[in-house]
Homo-oligomer: A and B are copies of this chain.
Amino acid sequence: MVSEYRLRRRVQFYETDTAGIVHFSWFYRYMEEAEHALWREAGLSIAPAGAEIGFPRVAASFDFHSPLRFEDEFEVRLTVAEITAKTIRYTANVIRGDTNIATGSLTVACVSKIAGEPMRSTEIPADIATRFEVTPA
């Protein structure tokens, strides 16, 4: 069972903007990268080919404390904060050395995907849910 992942990452040039810092939209992608790496560490893919369920994002937020710049090395510390029958909520801390860069939250829901029909909320299958545990506070 996994409950946390630490993603090491370097800022790419195309992630910066004309203000000279990483564009804020990238932090949501960094958080998702860490989530998918967490799933791989749990022996899973969040989106295997032909899957009949998926995990769309239902809420995501960030507070930004300090900027990241081109070639900065940083870490995304993702933790499993809550698991319900149909959702998983993560929290993320983005840090560069000792500097707190940003603090985020991401909630995803399990849905069934049938071609041509709207996505429908469904329970997380047991063989997935049992791979994760909430990080002790």
Contacts and interface: CB of A to CB of B under 8 A. Distances in A.
Interface of A: 12-14, 16-21, 23-26, 28-29, 32-33, 36, 40, 45-47, 49-50, 54, 56-64, 67, 69-71, 113, 115-116, 119
B63 A59 contact: yes
A58 B36 CA distance: 25
Contacts of A17: 13-14, 16-18
Contacts of A63: 58-59
Contacts of A62: 59-61
Contact of A24 (B19, B60, B71): B60
A47 B115 contact: no
